[in-house]
Amino acid sequence: MSAVPVRENVKRLVDLIPEDELRTVERMLRGLVAASANPFLAALANAPEDDEPVSEEEEEAVRLSEEEEARGELISDADLWRELGHAPRR
């Protein structure tokens, strides 16, 4: 194991990041800090990727919706709420 503490290695690496990438790194670090402070966010960040198989029916539904979208047949949430007689949700 390295004699240099991990925190020092991280600080050195940050100094090597190009200036135009620092905002991205800052957002990533803030996310890590927030996740470690919030048990729910930590569990979410560490959750395994969904590996449940997709059924043929689900694949067909996705294909049909993509075709509808390509034809411009979809409506906005606000229009749907108006069509149903409700005020749009915000």
Sign of CA dihedral 76, 81, 87, 88: negative
- pLDDT tens by residue, the chain, 90 residues: 566 799 999 999 999 999 999 999 999 998 888 877 888 877 887 888 888 899 999 999 999 999 998 999 988 888 888 889 887 666
Record the pTM: 0.40
In sequence order, the 6+-apart residues with CB closer than 8 A to the CB of 45 are: 31, 35
Rounded Cα distance, 74 and 66, in Å:
10
Residue 88 is predicted with a pLDDT of: 60
Residue 2 is predicted with a pLDDT of: 62
Matching residue, tokens 């689900």? 58
Angle value at C-alpha 52, between 47 and 57, nearest 5 degrees: 140
| Domain spans in the chain, listed from the N-terminal domain onward | 6-46
Residue 89 is predicted with a pLDDT of: 60
